[in-house]
Amino acid sequence: MDKAHHVGMADMVVVSAPESLVTLGLGSCIGLVLFDQAAKVAGMAHIMLPDSRGAGQKALEKPGKFADTAVPALIAEVCRKGAVRSRLKAKIAGGSQMFALPGAQTDFLAVGSRNAKETEAMLQRHGIPLSASDTGGNKGRTVEFSTKTWMLTVKVLGKGTAEI
Instruction: Find the CATH number of the domain harbouring 102.
Output: 3.30.1330.200
Residue 39, number of CB atoms within 10 A of its CB: 17
Specify the 3-state DSSP secondary structure of 57.
helix
Estimate the crossing angle of helix 111-125 against helix 67-80, to 10 degrees: 50
Cis peptide upstream of residue 18 (ω within 30 degrees of 0): yes
User: What does the pLDDT profile of the chain (164 residues) look like in tens digits?
Assistant: 579 999 999 999 999 999 999 999 999 999 999 999 999 999 999 999 999 988 777 777 899 999 999 999 999 999 999 999 999 999 999 999 876 655 555 555 689 999 999 999 999 999 999 999 999 999 999 999 999 999 999 999 888 999 99
Phi then psi for 31, rounded to 5 degrees?
-95, 115
Range of the domain at 41: 4-163
Q: Which among 12, 13, 29, 154 is annotated as catalytic?
A: 29
pTM for the full predicted model: 0.92
The distance in angstroms from the start CA to the end CA of the chain is 22
User: Whole-angstrom Cα distance, residue 32 to residue 25?
Assistant: 14
Residue 114, number of CB atoms within 10 A of its CB: 18
Number of domains in the chain: 1
Give yes or no: 79 in active site.
Answer: no
